[in-house]
Amino acid sequence: MGLVNFYITLFIKLTMKIITLHCDYIRFKPLKKAFKGAEELDSKAQLEKEVREPLVVLVAIEKGDNDQTVSELVEAVKKTAKEVKALNIVLYPYAHLSSNLAPPSTALEYLVEAENILTKFFKVTRAPFGHYKEFELKVKGHPLSELSKEFRGKVEEVKGEHKVLDLENYDPSKLLREISKTKLDTSKLKENDHRILAQRLDLFSFNEVAPGQVFWHDSGLHIFNKLKYFVSKILKKYDYQIIDTPQILDGKLFKVSGHWAHYRDNMFLTKYEDRDFGVKPMNCPGAMLVYKTRPRAYRELPLRFAEFGTDHRKELSGVLAGLFRVIKMTQDDAHIFCTKEQIASEISNLLEMIKLIYKDTFGFDYSFELSTRPEKFMGDKKDWDDAEKILESVLKKSKAKYKINKGDGAFYGPKIDLHIKDSLGRSWQCSTIQLDMQMPKRFELAYTGEDGKEHMPFVIHRAILGSIERFIGVLIEHLNGNLPLWLSPRQVKVISFTDRNKKVAEKLVSEIKAEIPELRIDLDNRSDTVQAKIRDAELLKVNYILVVGDKEEKSKTLAVRARGEKPKFGIKQSKFIEDLKKEIAI
């Protein structure tokens, strides 16, 4: 333990937080004042407003923000607006981004200042400040459509003084109490919210020591791993190679891929031996390097690289929402390297995979959206036209429901997005299929054609589940936690009717486990009423409850209660095990 005598100067970093959303539209209407002294509105300002094709800037002004942070806000908005070619800006006060808000008068002053500056470059609409508002918007869904940023203004110096600091003098108990403060606020959540169900079913948790990053518990990790296994089997059927690439990569790689210029604000950056490194936000660059490890020939194509890639993306704490919006995520990504002639068959295979997973396995209704060439695009117009025709012809051939979303493709190629409907009627954008005609150029990808010459492959980026974390959240709410047997973390529970049936119940668990080693089966031998034990098992969403009493012990049969159904008596053990094996198989 060392003591250090030094002169301390305190530096306070001043921050402002924003989220930019590139939207098809936003509609909003002030309803009532949120506090006394809120901005006064004339009759026109009280009406509903709609702005088309805006860059919406959700902004929270915090204590300590100043002219410099406002200046940085303006520059960031100008940069993003230029990248997405937005002419309309909507400044939308959004207090939920911060718990350290500036006084209302200060916040309004800086919002007006930002509005006045931006008005010189754009058509600016500022939503009313200090009012409860209803609003609706549709985010476009391209890589730059959702960004979160924070700005650090000038560093203010506070008068220093001499201090003696004990470098090891901290209180672990106090730190632990601070760490342990994380608690889920359920007051505004619905009963079927996946965060509430996760607590009840002991699936996962979050902690402020790792914002937006999931702590998987045993039962939740079982679901996560089973989904990966399920998808892996499908990948093998369609002849994918499964790869794994590093998470921390040299900044040079992201400069080649374009992420450094377009996505750096949302990346976690670090230095190692005086080199800039970034934690990957997407898996594309690594897959490109794997392709380039050796010369490729036309006979190898299509070449399909799948990766359950772990990605990290900076998000402001105010927008994190359980599994739906996280910082650390696992994507079931794939990059398919193919010729132009192979695009149609590869897209067709992907539509088959989507049907198998979403419709046939989980019962989701879905439709597709084909997004075409935006105003700002890279590449040759003819290549775009050809690619769009290929994608639409495959959608028509599959007889899938789809609509055209003109001008909303990624800057590097057209894309197909999957929109699913859950049991509550909510729409979710999950799978995406993107045709990339630019990444191969940036990485100088090539293969030797049948003519002996070098050619550039096309690349299809695709994710079927998308973020596995997000998919699990959607699935839990869609099924209200009632997962199918093969995915369920609590598959069978054996309950002894009385204390005298305990040994037979223990024997039954051992025998079933011997027949199905991978089965997740539990024993409840507590000295409690059978009704209480059944109720506890039902609350845990157990798929099958087996009750062993004197009658079952004597007849050597089982009383089987399938989840949500009435019990069936006199079931032979061998028959139950045989049916279980069939149902659990995937």
What stretch of H or E contains 459?
Answer: strand 458-467
Given the residues 284, 332, 430, 470, select the one marked as catalytic.
284
The sign one gets for the Cα dihedral 124, 125, 129, 135 is: negative
What stretch of H or E contains 33?
Answer: strand 15-33
Cβ-based neighbours of 494, under 8 Å, separated by 6 or more: 505, 508, 509, 512, 521, 522, 523, 524, 546, 548
> Are 21 and 81 contacting, i.e. CB atoms less than 8 angstroms apart?
no
Active site residue 241: no
Active site residue 478: no
DSSP 418: E
Q: C-alpha angle with apex 403: 397 to 407, nearest 5 degrees?
A: 115
Distance in angstroms (rounded) separating the CA atoms of residues 142 and 147: 11
Active site residue 415: yes
DSSP 302: S
Distance in angstroms (rounded) separating the CA atoms of residues 247 and 49: 44
Q: 5: exposed, middle or buried (C-beta count within 10 Å: 0-12, 13-18, 19+)?
A: exposed
Given the residues 331, 408, 434, 561, select the one marked as catalytic.
331
Distance in angstroms (rounded) separating the CA atoms of residues 35 and 508: 64
Assign residue 101 a region (left: φ > 0; alpha: ψ between -120 and 50; beta: otherwise).
Answer: beta
DSSP 373: -
Beta-ladder partners of 124: 89
Q: Which residues of 526-558 are buried (b: 16+ CB within 10 A; e: fewer)?
A: eeeebeebbebbeebbbbbbbbbbeebbeeebb
Lookup: tokens for 577: 């095990």
Given the residues 142, 328, 415, 561, select the one marked as catalytic.
415
Distance in angstroms (rounded) separating the CA atoms of residues 300 and 309: 23
- Please give the sequence-ordered ranges of beta strands (E in DSSP) within 99-214, or none if there are none: 123-126, 131-139, 146-152, 156-166, 204-205
Lookup: tokens for 569: 């008596």
Lookup: tokens for 326: 């996280």
Can you spell out the DSSP letters for 419-457? EEE-TTS-EEEEEEEEEESSHHHHTT--EE-TTSSEEPP
Residue 555 CA, distance from chain mean position: 51
Helix (H, G, I), strand (E, B) or coil at 574: helix
Q: Which residues of 238-273 are buried (b: 16+ CB within 10 A; e: fewer)?
A: eebeebebebebebebbbbbbbbebbbebbbeeeee
Rg from Cα positions in the chain: 28
Lookup: tokens for 238: 């369609």
Q: Identify which of 223, 226, 206 has the alpha carbon closest to the alpha carbon of residue 327.
A: 206
Active site residue 313: yes
Active site residue 96: no
Given the residues 193, 332, 333, 417, select the one marked as catalytic.
333
Given the residues 131, 280, 304, 335, select the one marked as catalytic.
335
C-alpha dist (Å) from residue 241 to 291, 302, 334, 345, 376? 12, 11, 9, 18, 34
Residue type for position 383: D
Active centre residues (catalytic)? 284, 313, 331, 333, 335, 415, 461
